[in-house]
Amino acid sequence: MPTLYEKIKRAGLLREEGGMVRLRTFGPSLTRRQFGALAAGAAGAAALGAGRAQGGEVKFMGWQGYEEAFAANGFAASKDITIAPTYQADNGQAMTAIANGGVGSMDIVTPDTGYTRVMAELDMLEPLDISRIPNWDGLDPYFKSIDNIVMDGKPYAVPYAWTIIPLMYTPATIPEAPTSWMDVMKPEYKGKVGLTNDMISMVANFTIAVTGKKQATIISKAELAEVFAFMTELKKTQARTVAASYGELTDLLASGEVWIAQGWVPVQLWAKEKGADVRWTIPKEGAFCPIDCMAMVKGSPNMDDTYTLLDAAISPEGQAHAANINATGVTNAAAVAMLSEEVLEIQPHDDIAAFYEKATGGQPLPLWPLEADGDLATLDDVLDAWDRFMAA
């Protein structure tokens, strides 16, 4: 029977090159959250496989700031639970850690909905007993219905946070909100378009624009080629730059060097702190809106404490505390009333199901297929095309 490492490698998430293993992921997700923890995260991932957790120490590997849910009102300390965090640079890093000794030693990871299904199918996650997560009942009904979380009637993760990767613009130069992703090609915006080095977000949004398919990860190889041809033309003829991070994009928008860009909703808040007016809109074609989860690693050595923390993560108090720090959306309906005005301004919560219907056609995006299936573009196809795009 193949090991977990062999399954991941065969699935195309790892590639050996010149005797070294290169992590195959969605790209620099780190830039979306602006954390510089790549080196620390890699070191921590290796350490995670070294032994079992001891005496109430729960090993958490995920996005920095997401563990804040456990700190709301001193919750973890009140339960005598110690969190041992390792911050990841992308979801693939957590998969690699699990495959290399993490089973039986790691407790909590934070995959998005696409990775949740892949990790569950690779037997990396424990199916959850909802009777041990009372706050599940308080989730907005939309988040209980996500295909990639519930499989064969069993949930493999709790939906924790959601966000929006929209089209952003500066009203001082573009008074009326753009209505289409294709507006970035308007002649008057030449040299004023911003792009960000965030592969999944850029590819997903421009796939939606070029193909008209909101489920942007299920496309043919020919459609993928069309998308990257458009992106390459955009980069060469219209873009001011490909920003290294959304922090850099914020600076470009705030300074007036960029007028219109594929962005991330917290950019509006960060720009406001710099005295600039930057706004976002969902174009008529739709937009990429990821949902991050928390899941229990297979063989968690602290299962009782892990269930306690997963429940806290989707409690109203835990949700609001973390969202007010991270500027993300909440999944527990009762947490909305606890959000700050700043977060409510940038992240709508009025009708989640209707919002996702407009933005994504209903469900969040799955991963691109890992293995060849007829003429469908695979994750490897996208990664290779991205490399060529960045070099163009």
Cβ atoms < 10 Å from Cβ of 242: 16
Residues 323 and 230 in one domain: no
Among 83, 82, 92, 84, which Cα is nearest to 38's? 92
Give the mean model confidence (pLDDT) for residues 9-18.
Answer: 47
Task: Look at residue 271 in the predicted model and tell me its pLDDT.
Answer: 94
Give the mean model confidence (pLDDT) for residues 86-108.
Answer: 89
Percent residues over pLDDT 70 in the chain: 86
In this prediction the pTM is: 0.84
CA 347 – CA 327 distance, rounded (Å): 8
pLDDT at 46 over 70: no
pLDDT at 42 over 90: no
The answer to whether position 206 is within a domain reads yes
The answer to whether position 327 is within a domain reads yes
Q: What is the DSSP letter of 220?
A: B
Task: Look at residue 8 in the predicted model and tell me its pLDDT.
Answer: 54
pLDDT at 16 over 50: no
Q: What is the DSSP letter of 288?
A: B
Residues 115 and 228 in one domain: no
| pLDDT band at residue 24 under the 50/70/90 scheme | very low
Side by side, the strands of the sheet bearing 291-296 are 82-87, 57-62, 108-109, 291-296, 158-162, 329-330
59 by DSSP, 3-state: which? strand
For 337-392, how does the pLDDT look when each residue is reduced to its tens digit (9 = 90+)? 999 999 999 999 999 999 999 999 998 988 898 888 899 999 889 989 999 999 99
CA 91 – CA 33 distance, rounded (Å): 13
Give the mean model confidence (pLDDT) for residues 8-32.
Answer: 40
Residues 131 and 246 in one domain: no
Mean pLDDT across the chain, nearest whole number?
87
CA 83 – CA 67 distance, rounded (Å): 8
The answer to whether position 320 is within a domain reads yes
Q: What is the DSSP letter of 347?
A: S
Residues 236 and 378 in one domain: yes
Task: Look at residue 92 in the predicted model and tell me its pLDDT.
Answer: 81
What phi, psi does 281 have (nearest 5°)?
-150, 150
Task: Look at residue 145 in the predicted model and tell me its pLDDT.
Answer: 85
Are 30 and 82 in contact by the 8 Å Cβ rule? The answer is no
Q: Which domain holds residue 151?
A: 4-160+292-349
Residues 19 and 138 in one domain: yes
Residues 189 and 154 in one domain: no
391 by Cβ neighbours in 10 Å (0-12 / 13-18 / 19+) ranks as exposed
CA 392 – CA 192 distance, rounded (Å): 19
Residues 305 and 279 in one domain: no
The total of structural domains in the chain comes to 2
Of 85-89, 185-189, 220-224, least confident by mean pLDDT is 85-89
The answer to whether position 51 is within a domain reads yes
Residues 100 and 116 in one domain: yes
| pLDDT band at residue 91 under the 50/70/90 scheme | confident
For 229-276, how does the pLDDT look when each residue is reduced to its tens digit (9 = 90+)? 999 999 999 999 999 889 999 999 999 999 999 999 999 999 999 999
> Mean pLDDT highest for which of 144-148, 151-155, 158-162, 262-266?
158-162
Q: Which two tokens stand for residue 196?
A: 């960000």
Q: β-pairing, 260-262 with 82-87?
A: unpaired
Amino acid at 244: A
| pLDDT band at residue 88 under the 50/70/90 scheme | confident
Among 139, 105, 141, which Cα is nearest to 124's? 105
Q: pLDDT higher for 387 or 43?
A: 387
Among 380, 202, 377, which Cα is nearest to 288's? 202
The answer to whether position 338 is within a domain reads yes
Residues 242 and 385 in one domain: yes
Q: Which of 333, 349, 365 is the C-terminal boundary of a domain?
A: 349
Give me the CATH number covering residue 110: 3.40.190.10
pLDDT at 154 over 60: yes
Residues 142 and 216 in one domain: no
The answer to whether position 358 is within a domain reads no
For 296-312, how does the pLDDT look when each residue is reduced to its tens digit (9 = 90+)? 999 999 999 999 999 99
Strand partners, 196: 243
Residues 197 and 89 in one domain: no
The answer to whether position 362 is within a domain reads no
Residues 137 and 249 in one domain: no
| pLDDT band at residue 82 under the 50/70/90 scheme | very high
The answer to whether position 277 is within a domain reads yes
Among 332, 294, 290, which Cα is nearest to 111's? 294
